[in-house]
């Protein structure tokens, strides 16, 4: 019997398992960061019930935990998770980890460093080891939540004798980002590799993600969401989804609604990308070119009319001229998002530095 137990212990060590019990805590008892409106609770990134005019799919996307992260401290050698989601959607340009998995970073030498992922099951109930074999010292952890599916519950598991406690919000100024599927996170391979999450870790700003895949077309209800949201600055990927005609007819009203509530808050608009889907499809190329021209024309009209504290970064989302930075001609790969972040980071720091946002 003794020989059998010794053999079993060896097998468990080989498999990276531990005989020690794990205990699980509700993630909502820790620190949830990146809520667009801090009065919200649960795992929805925005309380859609406050906006009855929202179309059904916009309300559904608002209920996703896109961009949210759980911040905590632990000295556990192993971190696990159990979570339950709505039925995950399909998506040719998304990985399972991005749409219903988890993505954890640990602070090391003042930098958030990738630690591991929670790989989802092909069901609504998931359980995974995120990281194991750590040294037992106290670590600050940041766990990004799924991008594309509603999250019903999340528990974080640690060694039974380990400490796990809320981490005081590690982020400072709030910079809320609204936009298209590119902002929403297509086609990042993990939740922490969207451009908003990368910018957050690079700057220390809290960056709620209000990307609405395929749906953000400068409608007034989006402006009303921003008008009722408190932030130090707003960034808009607002020209990716609407047509040129929609940009021409909607941009000024969109800005006016926001300005009535936030007269001095910096509003930063990003020019949309040049889509590789138009390399040979001349109809798509012309459609996208008209959009970019309408965006430039509309922003210039605001400047000419004397609007202040409004900025236009053009290009806003530059990709590799070698044509290898998207999954499908539209949505950036991780390499594409890295190029976008490298381009935006110094420009955002210059603009927001004028407002004391360091």
Q: Tell me: the pLDDT tens digits for 206-253?
A: 999 999 999 999 999 999 999 999 999 999 999 999 999 999 999 999
Are the C-beta atoms of 117 and 102 separated by less than 8 Å? Answer: yes
- Rounded percentage of the chain residues whose pLDDT exceeds 90: 87
CATH number among 3.40.50.300, 3.40.50.1110, 3.90.380.10, 3.20.20.10, domain 175-353 = 3.40.50.1110
pLDDT at residue 296, as a whole number: 98
What are the tokens at 85?
């989601």
> Please, which residues have CB within 8 angstroms of residue 13's CB and are 6 or more apart in sequence?
none
- The sheet with strand 79-85 has its strands ordered as 22-26, 151-159, 79-85, 125-131
- Measured CA distances, 259 to 89, 174, 191, 350 (Å): 36, 18, 31, 22
Lowest mean pLDDT segment, chosen from 15-19, 51-55, 90-94, 146-150? 15-19
| Higher-confidence position of 130 and 7 | 130
| Higher-confidence position of 279 and 314 | 314
- Rounded percentage of the chain residues whose pLDDT exceeds 70: 94
- The phi, psi pair for 106, rounded to 5°, reads -125, 140
Q: Which CATH class is domain 20-166?
A: mainly beta
Question: Average pLDDT over the chain, rounded to whole?
Answer: 93
Parallel/antiparallel/unpaired status of strands 69-74 and 164-166 = antiparallel
Q: Work out the average pLDDT over 13-20.
A: 44
**How far, in Å, CA of 340 to CA of 335, rounded?**
9
Ranges of each domain in the chain: 20-166, 175-353
Whole-model pTM?
A: 0.93
**How far, in Å, CA of 128 to CA of 89, rounded?**
20
């Amino acid at each position: 019997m003794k020989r059998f137990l010794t053999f079993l212990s060896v097998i468990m060590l080989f498999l990276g398992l531990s005989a020690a019990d794990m205990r699980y805590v509700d993630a909502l008892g820790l620190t949830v960061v990146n809520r667009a409106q801090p009065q919200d609770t649960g795992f929805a990134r925005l309380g859609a019930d406050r906006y009855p005019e929202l179309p059904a799919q916009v309300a559904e996307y608002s209920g996703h935990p896109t961009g949210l992260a759980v911040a905590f401290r632990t000295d556990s050698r192993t971190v696990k998770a159990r979570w339950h989601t709505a039925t995950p959607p399909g998506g040719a340009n998304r990985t399972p980890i991005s749409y219903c998995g988890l993505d954890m970073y640990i602070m090391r030498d003042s930098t958030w460093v990738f630690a591991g992922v929670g790989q989802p099951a092909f069901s609504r109930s998931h359980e995974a080891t995120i990281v194991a074999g750590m040294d037992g010292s106290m670590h600050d952890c940041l766990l990004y939540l799924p991008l594309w599916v509603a999250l019903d519950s999340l528990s974080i598991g640690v060694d039974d004798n380990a400490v796990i406690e809320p981490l005081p919000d590690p982020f400072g100024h709030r910079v809320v980002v609204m936009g298209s599927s590119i902002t929403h996170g297509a086609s990042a391979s993990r939740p922490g590799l969207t451009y908003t999450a990368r910018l957050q870790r690079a700057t220390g700003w809290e960056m709620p993600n209000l990307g609405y895949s395929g749906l953000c077309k400068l409608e007034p209800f989006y402006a009303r969401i921003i008008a009722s949201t408190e932030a130090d600055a707003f960034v808009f990927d607002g020209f990716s989804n609407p047509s040129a005609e929609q940009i021409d007819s909607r941009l000024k009203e969109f800005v006016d609604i926001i300005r009535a509530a936030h007269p001095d808050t910096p509003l930063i608009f990003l020019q949309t990308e040049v889509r590789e889907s138009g390399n040979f499809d001349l109809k798509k190329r012309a459609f996208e070119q008209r959009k970019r021209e309408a965006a430039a024309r509309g922003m210039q009209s605001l400047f000419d009319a004397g609007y202040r504290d409004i900025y236009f970064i053009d290009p806003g989302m530059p990709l590799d001229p070698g044509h290898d930075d998207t999954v499908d001609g539209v949505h950036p790969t991780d390499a594409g998002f890295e190029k976008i972040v490298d381009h935006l980071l110094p420009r955002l720091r210059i603009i927001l530095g004028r407002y004391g946002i360091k």
